[in-house]
């Protein structure tokens, strides 16, 4: 499974990328607004840090506007992935951009039927929002299972399942068990994957015993 980090905070991205665990980055209008910076500058900086796909979302809601904005975003760097809403105009733009060899991330997916349409439009990634489904009493992981099953039935589909709206490590583990290709995680959730009390306890014990030897390796 590939890990993308879901943030526009370049300091966070640099710190996490240094671990070698970051395969890409996803942003959205809300994350750009939170950064307080110009979207073009932020995306360019992120693309220079991470060689993998960097999702930058259009703000237009109609096809012509999406294509104009996509033309600007795709010029930033070769690893820009144009993020589009799962709407008729968004899918039309996805189809066009796919034909031009541009990576696309179709976002705000909440049903398997929508994911099927995105794959037929040639999306590079489909982003089902598991946390938001959980919030309204539905099981987000059931959606991931449905999409993975459908895509596996059709080998000509090249769209990768990018699990989004991740809230905790269980989402990641369950998505990996189901065979999702990618998960995009907020920085704090990515760091949660490291944590286990037995790891901390075991390390503390090793260090205590080592100190008692009075030895030094270097």
pLDDT value at residue 38: 97
Is 2 in the active site? no
Q: What are phi and psi of 157, to 5 degrees?
A: -75, 125
pLDDT at 127: 98
| pLDDT for the residue numbered 58 | 98
Res 25: pLDDT: 98
Question: pLDDT for 21-37, tens place per residue?
Answer: 999 999 999 999 999 99
- Of 208, 151, 159, 163, the closest CA to residue 189 belongs to 163
Radius of gyration of the chain (CA): 19
The pLDDT of residue 39: 97
> Which pLDDT value is given to residue 158?
97
Catalytic residue among 2, 14, 83, 177: 83
Stretches where the chain sits below pLDDT 70 are none
Residues 6+ apart with CB under 8 A from 187: 5, 7, 9, 12, 16
Strand 182-185 and strand 2-6: the pairing is parallel
Residues 6+ apart with CB under 8 A from 81: 24, 53, 54, 55, 56, 103, 104, 105, 124, 125
pLDDT of residue 186: 97
Half-sphere exposure of 43 (CA within 13 A, CB side): 28
Architecture of domain 2-213: Alpha-Beta Barrel (3.20)
pLDDT value of position 206? 97
């Amino acid at each position: 499974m590939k890990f993308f980090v879901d943030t526009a905070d370049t300091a966070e991205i640099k710190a996490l990328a240094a671990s070698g665990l970051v395969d890409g980055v996803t942003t959205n209008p809300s994350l750009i607004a939170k950064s307080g910076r110009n979207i073009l500058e932020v995306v360019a900086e992120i693309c220079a840090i991470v060689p993998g796909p960097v999702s930058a979302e259009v703000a237009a809601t109609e096809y012509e506007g999406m294509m104009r904005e996509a033309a600007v975003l795709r010029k930033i760097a070769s690893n820009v992935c144009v993020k589009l809403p799962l709407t008729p105009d968004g899918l039309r733009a996805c189809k066009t951009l796919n034909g031009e060899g541009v990576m696309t991330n179709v976002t705000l997916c909440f049903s398997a039927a929508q994911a099927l349409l995105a794959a037929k439009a040639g999306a590079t990634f489909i982003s089902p929002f598991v946390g938001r489904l959980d919030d309204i009493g539905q099981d987000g992981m059931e959606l991931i299972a449905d999409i993975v099953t459908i895509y596996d039935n059709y080998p000509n589909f090249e769209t990768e399942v990018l699990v989004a709206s991740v809230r905790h490590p269980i989402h990641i583990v369950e998505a990996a068990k189901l065979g999702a290709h990618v998960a995009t995680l907020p920085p704090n959730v990515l760091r949660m994957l490291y944590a286990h009390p037995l790891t901390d306890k075991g390390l503390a014990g090793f260090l205590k015993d080592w100190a008692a030897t009075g030895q030094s390796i270097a």
